[in-house]
Chain A
């Protein structure tokens, strides 16, 4: 191998990206747990940790721009770097949504829930799995894993529709629940957006492997 030091830097870039992805997945899980367990300490941790994700995004972005400017990567190397640049934006947005969910936890404080949370944690479980599967697809350069992950997005969307209907019905019949019901709708929406960003990750992994850009999120 001729460009050994460059390819070592590429591998470091991938490691950083995987670390960022793992942190984002963790943030999402903990944010939803803070809501279901009404754990304000955990929620505040998630909100604080968002700065770490932002710093990682900046760091990876800087690494990518440096590699583009100084190494002028081509072919699969170019796709690895450009994929990293795109993926970190999606990861950073996911982390923002995790932080938003934690902020709802803080806002609701110890106010009793208008309904037991069932579908929202299930949505969150699916969305976190999607993030983890997307990262595995990235690590393994696997189109199959990316496609499997992307198919889960339909399940998230169905659950979101069902949560939406249920909360709307509760708010219609009990106007005193509108404030909390709206917050919970936000939460469901944040999770649905996380799943969409995970789908983007899958699309970028497919690009990285094949060079083909396909829109799979409809």
Chain B
């Protein structure tokens, strides 16, 4: 079990780093990622940028083994989150996905109450005490800055919330199972500017508490929220570096061409 190993080796609330070595991914005969190696320090935010089809979403989906859902996929290399390799065959994938939470492009609350959405994960993990569940729900909604907006409406359907609120609910749902890593797949792509700003503010506040990887097509968003940027192109990690350096003076010509729109 991932969590047991984590508890033993890393301590309960440790923030974990991510070390990827020689990662290769194929979809059938097509290579989607080629020899990707990188290290992300614990508590840092990494933004993945690059044109559509460059491999950034594939990379993200390897980190919590969502990639397993593609029938023809083959993955090689190693992906260490803390001390354990998520690509190990004997990994408990359900436990892994608690440790490595994910928020998607479209808010995807479950068709149940706001309370039950957040309590879903802890209940699955065996939390039965009503008091404890209430506490977890409140803490998670506070962390995702939604508590003040929903505190009197926890028994209402999550579907009554606005898109931006739903996305923060999804963040609360991910936080409720005490993840160490958060994956964000274009988390504001369907949101208006105010809701986007709220999500971005959460990401900035979460720095140091969770290690985060965000896929975004919005370069300004990557600039605002990330500590590090990785530029992918045609399955290759072209360049990775501190956000300031990548956006003001990238070292690789391909990165430069992508950032300045001189990209064919």
Could you say which residues of chain A place their CB within 8 Å of the CB of B256? 75-76
Could you say which residues of chain B place their CB within 8 Å of the CB of A75? 247-250, 255-256, 259-260
A72 contacts B262, C-beta separation under 8 Å: no
A73 within 8 Å of B by Cβ?
yes
A1 contacts B262, C-beta separation under 8 Å: yes
Query: Which chain A residues numbered 68 to 87 have a C-beta less than 8 Å away from chain B?
Result: 72-79
Q: How far is the CB of B87 from chain A (nearest CB, A)?
A: 34
A76 contacts B260, C-beta separation under 8 Å: yes
Task: Provide the A47-75 mask, 1 if CB < 8 A to any CB of B, else 0.
Answer: 00000000000000000000000001111
B219 within 8 Å of A by Cβ?
yes
Count chain A CB atoms within 10 A of each CB in B250, B259, B260 and give the residue with the most: B260
Give Cα A16 to B220, complex, Å.
Answer: 28
Could you say which residues of chain A place their CB within 8 Å of the CB of B263? 2
Give Cα A169 to B260, complex, Å.
Answer: 58
Query: Which chain B residues numbered 245 to 259 have a C-beta less than 8 Å away from chain A?
Result: 245, 247-250, 255-256, 259
A3 within 8 Å of B by Cβ?
yes
B261 within 8 Å of A by Cβ?
yes
Asked whether A3 and B249 contact (CB < 8 A) given A75-B255, A75-B256, the answer is no
Give Cα A210 to B260, complex, Å.
Answer: 16
Could you say which residues of chain B place their CB within 8 Å of the CB of A211? 245, 248-249
With an 8 Å Cβ cutoff, the count of chain B residues facing the other chain is 15
Give Cα A3 to B248, complex, Å.
Answer: 18
A10 (CB) vs chain B CBs: closest residue: B260
Could you say which residues of chain A place their CB within 8 Å of the CB of B245? 211
Q: How far is the CB of A68 from chain B (nearest CB, A)?
A: 12
B262 contacts A74, C-beta separation under 8 Å: no
Q: How far is the CB of A141 from chain B (nearest CB, A)?
A: 13
Give Cα A75 to B261, complex, Å.
Answer: 10
Could you say which residues of chain B place their CB within 8 Å of the CB of A6? 261
Q: How far is the CB of A1 from chain B (nearest CB, A)?
A: 5
Asked whether A79 and B248 contact (CB < 8 A) given A72-B220, A74-B219, the answer is yes
Q: How far is the CB of A212 from chain B (nearest CB, A)?
A: 8
Query: Which chain A residues numbered 183 to 218 have a C-beta less than 8 Å away from chain B?
Result: 210-212
Give Cα A72 to B218, complex, Å.
Answer: 11
B249 contacts A74, C-beta separation under 8 Å: no
Count chain A CB atoms within 10 A of each CB in B223, B248, B261 and give the residue with the most: B261
A73 contacts B249, C-beta separation under 8 Å: no
Q: How far is the CB of A22 from chain B (nearest CB, A)?
A: 27
Count chain B CB atoms within 10 A of each CB in A6, A7, A74, A79 and give the residue with the most: A74
B249 contacts A79, C-beta separation under 8 Å: yes
B249 contacts A2, C-beta separation under 8 Å: no
B261 contacts A2, C-beta separation under 8 Å: yes
A3 contacts B220, C-beta separation under 8 Å: no
Could you say which residues of chain A place their CB within 8 Å of the CB of B255? 75
Task: Provide the B59-88 mask, 1 if CB < 8 A to any CB of A, else 0.
Answer: 000000000000000000000000000000
Task: Provide the B198-223 mask, 1 if CB < 8 A to any CB of A, else 0.
Answer: 00000000000000000000011001
Task: Provide the A1-45 mask, 1 if CB < 8 A to any CB of B, else 0.
Answer: 111001100000000000000000000000000000000000000
Query: Which chain B residues numbered 160 to 197 have a C-beta less than 8 Å away from chain A?
Result: none
Task: Provide the B233-255 mask, 1 if CB < 8 A to any CB of A, else 0.
Answer: 00000000000010111100001
B263 (CB) vs chain A CBs: closest residue: A2
B247 contacts A3, C-beta separation under 8 Å: no
Q: How far is the CB of A214 from chain B (nearest CB, A)?
A: 13
Within the complex, which residue of B223, B250, B262 is in contact with A3, where a contact is CB–CB below 8 Å? B262
B251 (CB) vs chain A CBs: closest residue: A211
Give Cα A53 to B22, complex, Å.
Answer: 57
Give Cα A78 to B259, complex, Å.
Answer: 10
A74 (CB) vs chain B CBs: closest residue: B259
**A-B pairs with the 7 shortest C-beta distances?**
A211-B249, A3-B261, A74-B259, A75-B259, A2-B261, A77-B260, A75-B256
A-B contact pairs, 23 of them (CB 8 A): A2-B262, A2-B263, A3-B260, A3-B261, A3-B262, A6-B261, A7-B262, A72-B219, A73-B260, A74-B219, A74-B223, A74-B248, A74-B259, A75-B259, A75-B260, A76-B249, A77-B260, A78-B248, A79-B248, A79-B249, A211-B245, A211-B249, A212-B249
- 15 more CB-based (< 8 A) A-B contacts, given A7-B262, A76-B260: A1-B262, A2-B262, A3-B262, A72-B220, A74-B259, A74-B260, A75-B248, A75-B249, A75-B259, A75-B260, A76-B256, A78-B247, A79-B248, A210-B249, A211-B248
